[in-house]
Structures are given as structure tokens and as C-alpha cells.
Amino acid sequence: MAEELAGFKHRFVSGSGQEGPTLLLLHGTGGNENDLLPLGRELLPGANLLSPRGKILEHGMPRFFRRLAEGVFDEEDLKIRTEELAGFVEEASERYGFDPGELFAVGFSNGANIAASLLLSRPELLRGAVLLRAMVPFEPEEAPDLSGVRIFVAAGELDHMVPKENTERLVELLRESGAELQVGWQRTGHGLVGEEVEEAKRWLSGAAQPH
């Protein structure tokens, strides 16, 4: 059953402890708050799961921010929606009692893009992120400080929606910001394959270990 907080319909599923990690699950276009719950449980068993539904509708399909065309983002809307999502996360940590310092985003496609936007504009919010099929959300005027933030990027060499050079630019931006990065390329398109889910699971089990 979806709850509502700060304007976001969402699901919160408690894990094995409030002190442990929480996964912020961010769906792709047309998804909802239920879509990534099975993936979150698979990636990090025992984690708390916080899964909001995007508030923007595109032809009736939920998204996290507007776009002007495929691959062309409405940056003004992206900025507003990123701040709204950050506010939601902060309120959710108070409501549900999870440790905000142990938050990892797991985003697919549109969800990965707003997760990347959070990393670039609110670098203090996330301890780490799994970005599945992400693009550069915007070019920051100056690099944020992402030192100590751990990020896994999963990309498809045959992805018709995310050009390879765009993923490479995002990786470059995150590296310039001091993030600890692992990048996994698969010879596949926009959909996920089992090998990269396993790779992300191995990576996250290490990245989410206590400090």
C-alpha cells in the first residue's frame, strides 16, 4: 500500500535494522513505487527500501522530471524536481527513522538520471549510488565534492537511448568530482541483463559495509 509524503506516493519497506543501509529506489519512465522493490531486495538483502513514484506524467507515464525530447532534458524542471526529491528523502528519514548517512540510490533510466542529478547538486545526500543506464543530467558550473561517495555505473554498449559518449562524459564528471567509481559495460541495449545485476550486487555488498 502506497503512502504519501511531501507530495510523493511511495513505499517504505523496513529491512533488518534502522542503522543499516537504505536504498532509494528510482524507477524508469512508466514505472511506479513497486517496480524496483524486487531488485532492491535482490541487490542488498536486509536493507531498508524507500521507493517513490515520479510526480511528472508523460503520456500518462510517471517520470521524475520533464524532458523536451528523448535525451533532451528540461533542466529548469530537473532542478526543481531534484530539490523536491531531496526534501522528500530528508522527511522520509525522519518519518521512518532510517540513518540518512547510509543512503544509496538505485536508479534505472529516468530514475538513474535524477539520481545523477542528486549526486551533482546535493552531493551530501547520498553515500553511494547504482546508476543503471544513466545520462548526464546537466553540466555543473563547478564539480561538486563527491570524495568518499561510491558509485557503480552499468551501461549497455548497444543502448539506443543512451549514447556511449554520454555515459563516458557522466563517468568523467563523477571522477572529476572525486567519486570512487566502478563502471560495467555489457554488450546489450537499454534493458538490464542478469550479469550486471550480479555485478551490482557484489559491488553494493562491499560499498555498503559499515564505515
pTM: 0.97
- Residue 109: active-site member: yes
CATH number, domain containing residue 64: 3.40.50.1820
| Given the residues 74, 99, 121, 190, the one annotated as active site | 190
Q: Provide the β-strand partners of residue 13.
A: 49
| Given the residues 159, 160, 205, 211, the one annotated as active site | 159
Q: What is the mean pLDDT of residues 2-26?
A: 91
Residues 171-181: pLDDT tens digits?
999 999 999 99
Domain that holds residue 83: 3-207
Residues 46-56: pLDDT tens digits?
999 999 999 99
- Residue 145: active-site member: no
For residue 122, what pLDDT is reported? 97
Q: What is the mean pLDDT of residues 21-25?
A: 97
Q: DSSP letter string over the chain?
A: --EEETTEEEEEE--S-TTS-EEEEE--TT--TTTTHHHHHHHSTT-EEEEEPPSEEETTEEESS-EEETTEE-HHHHHHHHHHHHHHHHHHHHHH---GGGEEEEEETHHHHHHHHHHHH-TTS-SEEEEES-------SS----TT-EEEEEEETT-SSS-HHHHHHHHHHHHHTT-EEEEEEESS-SS--HHHHHHHHHHHHHHTS--
Q: What is the mean pLDDT of residues 181-192?
A: 96
The number of folded domains in the chain is: 1
- Residue 59: active-site member: no
Q: Which tops the pLDDT comparison, 120 or 70?
A: 120
| Given the residues 93, 109, 117, 177, the one annotated as active site | 109
Binned at pLDDT 50, 70 and 90, residue 18 comes out as low
For residue 210, what pLDDT is reported? 85
